[in-house]
Amino acid sequence: MSEARESNRRMLGKLLVMAVVMFGFGYALIPVYRHICEVLGINVLTQKDGTVAPPVNTQVDLSRSITVELDSNVQGSLRFRPTERSVTVHPGEMKTVVYEVVNAQARPVTAQAIPSYAPQSATPHFKKVECFCFQQQTLQANEAKQMPVMFYLDPALPKEVKTITLSYTFIEIAGLDKTAAAAAPKAVQ
């Protein structure tokens, strides 16, 4: 019996050594792989050459500056406003602005933002990449949200346009109770 016990102990020792070696190999695999790739010049994620200049967006028209005025309106019980009143942007330049909405009610509210632009000739040239207006927003009771709008102005924007007003109307579409819904003005068809 002691021979079997001794044999089992040696086997357990070998298994523990193998487990530690496998763990060490797995732990060291990532840095070793990165080093091998760097030495061979394959799968290099970053360049070490500090003289390489970052790419320049050649679509930005630095000769023109457009003021984008930010406006907000609300229909319903929400508070809604831009965090800044205006921004200056060059055509082709990516810009992000933030609007803030607050639901001070003790109930959830679902609303949709509808954008409008002035002058109307700027509308086809105002390109939104990300906007809270793309989908309905649900705010829980007493919730506040910061909502970004990422946009750029098409360089084909008419030269006479110097100022664009971006206005959002935030309309409550769900969450009204029956008495508030009955008191709300009816939409004209």
pLDDT band at 173 (very low <50, low <70, confident <90, very high): confident
For residues 110 and 132, the answer to whether their CB atoms sit within 8 Å is no
Phi and psi at residue 182, to the nearest 5°: -70, -35
Three-state SS across 104-172?
Answer: CCCCCEEEEEEEEEECHHHHHHEEEEEEHHHCCEEECCCCEEEEEEEEEECCCCCCCCCEEEEEEEEEE
Overall average pLDDT of the 10-36 stretch: 87
pLDDT at 51 over 80: no
Report residue 119: phi and psi, to 5°: -70, 160
Q: In which band, very low, low, confident or very high, does the pLDDT at 78 lie, cut at 50, 70 and 90?
A: confident
pLDDT tier for residue 101 given thresholds of 50, 70 and 90: very high
- pLDDT, average across residues 157-178: 82
pLDDT above 90: residue 162 = yes
* Coil vs helix vs strand at 101: strand
Q: 37 or 4: whose pLDDT is higher?
A: 4
Q: Mean of the per-residue pLDDT values for the chain?
A: 82
Is-above-0.75 flag for pTM? Answer: no
Please, which contacts does 84-90 make with residues 24 or more away whose CB atoms are closer than 8 Å? 89/65, 89/152, 89/153, 90/60, 90/61, 90/62, 90/64, 90/65, 90/66, 90/153
